C-alpha cells in the first residue's frame, strides 16, 4: 500500500477580511512553493473563498470551506451548499468542528447529513471529532470518539469514503495552548484506525488520513508527525500567520 500523503490544513475561522485573506494567501503561496509530498489546504471565511482561490490558483494549496448545509439549495438564509463551495473553488470542507457543535447546535446526526452532502457533490470532508476535558478525565475518550465516528458515518460504505479525512481534535486542546502529547495523540489515532477497520474494512482504515488538531505549532509539529498514525494537522490559530503556517507545512 502506498504511504498516506500528509495533509496540513489551516482553519482561519472568523478571522481576516477579504483583503487580508488574499494577502495572507499570496504570501503563503510563495513560502510553500518548493514543498513536495505534502498536501496543503486553507479554509478562509465564506466571503473570501473566491478571491483566495484566485490568489492560490496554480499553486499546490487547496481551498476548503468551514461548513456547509446538507441541502443542495433552498430557503435556508445564511447557509451555504456544497455546490456553492465547489463553484467558489473549494475541494475540501470542514464538518463537525467542535465550535460548530458547541455554539451552533451541530449534532452527530447533522454531521452525518453534511458528510453525505459533501461526498455527493465531490468535496472531500474533513470530519472533526474530539472529547472534552471532563470526558477524558472520566476515561470516556474512546467511547465518545467511537460513537461520533459511528454516528457521523452512518449509512455510508467503504467505497463512499475514499476522500474522507478524519480530524481528531481534543476539545480541551483547541485554542488553549494545551496539546495532547505525541503519545496521547498516537494512542487515539491507533484506536480510530481500528474503529474504522471494524466499522468498514482494513483497506479503508489503512488508507484513511487522520489529522491531529489542537494547539499545533511549528515547535510540536515534527514530533506529532513522527507518529505512525498521525497523517497531518488541522491548524487553527497558527495558520493565520503565513510564516508560522509555512513552518508547520515544512515540519
Provide DSSP, 65-76: ES---SSSSSS-
Mean of all residue pLDDT scores within the chain: 95
Count CB-CB contacts under 10 A for residue 2: 5
Report if residue 242 sits inside a domain. yes
pLDDT one-digit tens code per residue, 49-91 = 999 999 999 999 999 999 999 999 999 999 999 999 999 999 9
Report if residue 150 sits inside a domain. yes
Across 133-141, average pLDDT? 93
CA atoms of 117 and 148, how far apart (whole Å):
18
CA torsion, ordered 235, 94, 232, 216, to nearest 10 deg: 20
Contacts of 142 (CB under 8 A, 6+ apart): 188, 191
Report if residue 127 sits inside a domain. yes
Confidence band, pLDDT 50/70/90 cuts, at residue 17? very high
Confidence band, pLDDT 50/70/90 cuts, at residue 156? very high
Number of domains making up the chain? 1
Chain CA centroid to CA 78, Å: 22
Three-state secondary-structure class, residue 50: helix
Confidence band, pLDDT 50/70/90 cuts, at residue 222? very high
Identify the pLDDT of residue 1. Answer: 39
Question: How far is CA 201 from each of CA 70, 76, 140, 152, 159, rounded to the nearest angstrom?
Answer: 26, 37, 24, 16, 10
Contacts of 153 (CB under 8 A, 6+ apart): 112, 115, 127, 161, 164, 199, 200
Which helix (H) or strand (E) element contains residue 125? Answer: strand 124-129
- Catalytic residue from among 97, 99, 131, 135: 97
Radius of gyration (Cα) for the chain, nearest Å?
17
Report if residue 1 sits inside a domain. no
- Catalytic residue from among 131, 135, 169, 189: 169
What the block records as the C-alpha cell of 103 is 455554539
CA atoms 56, 58, 62, 63: torsion sign = positive
pLDDT one-digit tens code per residue, 158-202 = 999 999 999 999 998 877 777 789 999 999 999 999 999 999 999
Active site residue 20: no
Report if residue 25 sits inside a domain. yes
The pTM (predicted TM-score) of the whole model is 0.96
Partners of 42 in beta bridges? 10, 63
pLDDT one-digit tens code per residue, 89-130 = 999 999 999 999 999 999 999 999 999 999 999 999 999 999
- Domain span at residue 234 reads 7-249
Active site residue 69: no
Q: What region does 13 belong to: left with phi over 0, alpha with psi -120 to 50, or beta? A: left
CA atoms of 164 and 193, how far apart (whole Å):
13
Comparing 233 with 2, which gets the higher pLDDT? 233
What is the domain-level CATH number for residue 74?
Answer: 3.20.20.70
CA atoms 108, 112, 118, 124: torsion sign = positive
CA atoms of 150 and 148, how far apart (whole Å):
6
Report if residue 188 sits inside a domain. yes
What is the number of alpha carbons within 13 Å of residue 52 lying toward its C-beta? 28
Report if residue 2 sits inside a domain. no
Alpha helix (H) ranges present in 39-181? Answer: 49-56, 82-87, 98-103, 108-120, 133-137, 141-152
Amino acid at each position: 500500500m502506498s504511504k498516506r500523503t500528509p495533509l496540513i490544513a489551516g482553519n482561519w475561522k472568523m478571522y481576516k477580511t477579504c483583503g487580508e485573506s488574499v494577502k495572507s494567501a499570496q504570501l503563503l503561496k510563495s513560502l510553500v512553493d518548493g514543498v513536495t509530498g505534502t498536501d496543503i489546504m486553507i479554509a478562509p471565511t465564506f466571503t473570501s473563498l473566491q478571491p483566495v482561490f484566485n490568489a492560490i490558483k496554480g499553486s499546490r494549496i487547496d481551498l476548503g470551506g468551514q461548513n456547509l448545509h446538507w441541502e443542495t439549495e433552498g430557503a435556508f438564509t445564511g447557509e451555504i451548499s456544497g455546490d456553492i463551495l465547489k463553484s467558489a473553488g473549494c475541494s475540501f470542507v470542514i464538518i463537525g468542528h467542535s465550535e460548530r457543535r458547541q455554539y451552533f447546535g451541530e449534532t452527530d446526526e447533522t454531521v452525518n447529513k453534511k458528510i453525505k452532502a459533501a461526498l455527493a457533490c465531490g468535496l472531500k470532508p474533513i470530519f472533526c471529532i474530539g472529547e472534552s476535558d471532563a470526558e477524558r478525565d472520566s476515561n470516556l475518550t474512546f467511547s465518545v470518539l467511537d460513537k461520533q465516528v459511528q454516528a457521523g458515518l452512518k449509512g455510508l460504505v467503504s467505497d463512499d469514503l475514499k476522500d474522507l479525512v478524519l480530524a481528531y481534535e481534543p476539545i480541551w486542546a483547541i485554542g488553549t495552548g494545551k496539546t495532547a502529547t505525541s503519545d496521547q495523540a498516537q494512542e487515539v489515532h491507533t484506536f480510530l484506525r481500528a474503529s474504522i477497520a471494524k466499522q468498514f474494512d482494513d483497506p479503508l482504515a489503512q488508507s484513511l488520513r487522520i489529522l491531529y488538531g489542537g494547539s499545533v505549532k511549528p515547535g510540536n509539529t515534527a514530533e506529532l508527525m513522527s507518529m505512525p498514525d498521525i497523517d497531518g494537522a488541522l491548524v487553527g490559530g497558527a495558520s493565520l500567520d503565513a510564516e508560522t503556517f509555512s513552518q508547520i507545512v515544512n515540519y
